[in-house]
């Protein structure tokens, strides 16, 4: 049995958009959730600090493949367009293109 790849990433939400960002994620579109699960995003969580630091965590068999599959989903393209303006310094990239996994330095198991 192969273990899932654990992925953690960090992005920055604009401080003046924090409340709206929270509200949007309290009602993620069901089609978006289905697409995430179908393309290999498991145990996916987002955490937001009061300063706007967004920490994401997920488990997947292959993060690069999961990202590629998700980018091909039409619902993801709509979601990313909706979310783009919530983030600091995107360089006109979609937020999902800015996800760069952090190095894992410790895991208890």
Catalytic residues: 25
Strand 5-12 relative to strand 42-48, pairing:
unpaired
Q: Which residues have C-beta within 8 Å of that of residue 43, sequence separation ≥ 6?
A: 4, 57, 58, 59
């Amino acid at each position: 049995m192969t273990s899932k790849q654990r992925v953690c990433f960090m992005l920055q939400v604009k401080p003046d958009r924090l409340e709206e960002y929270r509200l949007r994620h309290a009602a993620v579109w069901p089609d978006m959730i289905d697409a995430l699960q179908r393309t290999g995003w498991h145990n996916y969580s987002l955490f937001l600090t009061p300063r706007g630091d967004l920490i994401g965590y997920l488990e997947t068999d292959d993060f690069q493949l999961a990202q590629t599959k998700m980018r091909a989903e039409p619902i993801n393209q709509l979601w990313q367009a909706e979310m783009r303006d919530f983030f600091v310094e995107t360089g006109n990239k979609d937020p999902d293109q800015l996800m760069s996994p952090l190095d894992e330095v410790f895991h208890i198991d």
